[in-house]
Structure 1
Amino acid sequence: MKKYILILLGIALYTQVSAQSGLKSGSQAPLFSGKDNSGKTVDLKNLLKSHKAIVLFFYRGQWCPYCNKQIKELQDSLQLLTTKGVYVIGVTPETGENIQKTVSKTNASFSIIQDTDYRIMKAYDVNYRVDDALNAKLKSYGVDLEKNNGNTDHVLPVPATYVIAPSGKIIYVHFDKDYTKRTTVHAILNSLN
């Protein structure tokens, strides 16, 4: 029954994000700066100067099992990625308290930025608003977006991943409106060659 519910929610979310298309490979990555979960300023322009690539991914929240699985996989391969000069950044609308829950669930040790005003999500064209009907369904399954994100507008990101070269050019994109489909670390590593 739970799998059936997740499929229905996935279909409903897919129809809501149909207008979003994300940025394409070859595009210039929009620059941004923000405080991460450890209080450190994360500035894309500066990181591009000191790393061979940036992996920028967007996730919905600590309540999403697919997000937690992806974050755990990135964490499990973090040493391999950092050895290749990669810096990993997660972006989410969830509150700092909920980011800490994500960290506890996944042992994530890379930077995670709370995108309170959706500035980064909008720049990468991954933001969408969950309508009232779907929000009510999510609440009935124990997902309270207002509590999780600390606001009432119900904005989430398409869980996209971008790999950005030192030039600022996007060299790899995984953008799938089906929130259950995520990129693999293998695909990220292949994009670095």
Structure 2
Amino acid sequence: MKALIVLLVLISSTTLAQVAKSPEEVSPLLIGQQVPDISLKSADNQEQQLRSLVAEKPTVLLFYRGGWCPYCNAHLSEIQEAEEAIIDQGYQILAISPDAPANLQTTEDDKQIHYQLYSDADGTLMEAMGIAFKAPENYLGLLEKSSEGENQGILPVPSVFVIDTNGNIEFEYVNPDYKTRISGKLLLAIIENLH
């Protein structure tokens, strides 16, 4: 019986870390589950542990496809407009993409983003969060270039998670249609109603 339980735990944890074949087939972590403790790189190439970052204050964790994506850039800018009100609620915003640290800096400068951008170039966090999918073939060269060779052809479904300081997911918005994003106003309303 004990061996069966161990086997089931191994199977379920392996299933969560798989890369979906399409955006519609992702299996994101659920509300109430904890985010994994995975290392990310900041725009200045410093390694940070996700759990350490979210332990500082409640967090809006935003996953985007990359600085090359016009829909992502529009969303980053919209969230930037809501940043002050989100911070007033006691939250921080962390945005994560497959871009290499140098490309994060370009996005920060071009879009005048004030919140923190982090690199998950090899997709480890995307996979662990259950939002990674196999990128269409026409994206492979772009992903290899923007990740400086780290990304092996996976993209995140653009997603927003609200995380408490213990790393628990309190809210999530995961939409396979990369053109449809949660608005800054709706995100703020959700945050205001969480506590």
TM-score range, shorter chain: 0.7 to 0.9
1:69 to 66, 71, 74: 74
1:68-121 deviations in Å (ceiling 9; x for gaps): 011111212222111211111111111223212211231112211111221111
What amino acid is the match of 1:189? L
Do the aligned residues in 2 keep the contact of 1:26 with 1:170 (CA within 8 Å)? yes
CA distance, structure 2, for counterparts of residue 83 and residue 41 of structure 1:
27
The structure-2 alpha-carbon separation of the partners of 1:45 and 1:130, relative to structure 1 and needing over 3 Å to count, comes to: closer
TM-score by length of 1: 0.78
Do the aligned residues in 2 keep the contact of 1:171 with 1:191 (CA within 8 Å)? no
Do the aligned residues in 1 keep the contact of 2:61 with 2:96 (CA within 8 Å)? yes
Do the aligned residues in 1 keep the contact of 2:55 with 2:167 (CA within 8 Å)? no
How much has 1:184 moved relative to structure 2?
1.7
Partner residue of 1:181? 180
Do the aligned residues in 2 keep the contact of 1:163 with 1:188 (CA within 8 Å)? no
Partner residue of 1:127? 132
Q: Equivalent residue of 1:121, what SS? A: helix
The structure-2 alpha-carbon separation of the partners of 1:166 and 1:150, relative to structure 1 and needing over 3 Å to count, comes to: same
Do the aligned residues in 2 keep the contact of 1:60 with 1:92 (CA within 8 Å)? yes
Partner residue of 2:114? 109
The structure-2 alpha-carbon separation of the partners of 1:16 and 1:50, relative to structure 1 and needing over 3 Å to count, comes to: closer
Tell whether 2:90 aligns with 1:85. yes
1:115-146 deviations in Å (ceiling 9; x for gaps): 122111111111112233xx1xx58xxx8232
Partner residue of 2:56? 50
The structure-2 alpha-carbon separation of the partners of 1:21 and 1:71, relative to structure 1 and needing over 3 Å to count, comes to: same
The structure-2 alpha-carbon separation of the partners of 1:48 and 1:116, relative to structure 1 and needing over 3 Å to count, comes to: closer
Q: Equivalent residue of 2:117, what SS? A: strand
Q: What is the Cα-based RMSD across aligned positions, in Å?
A: 2.3
How much has 1:41 moved relative to structure 2?
4.8
What amino acid is the match of 1:24? L
TM-score by length of 2: 0.77
Give the total of aligned pairs.
172
Partner residue of 1:147? 145
How much has 1:39 moved relative to structure 2?
4.5
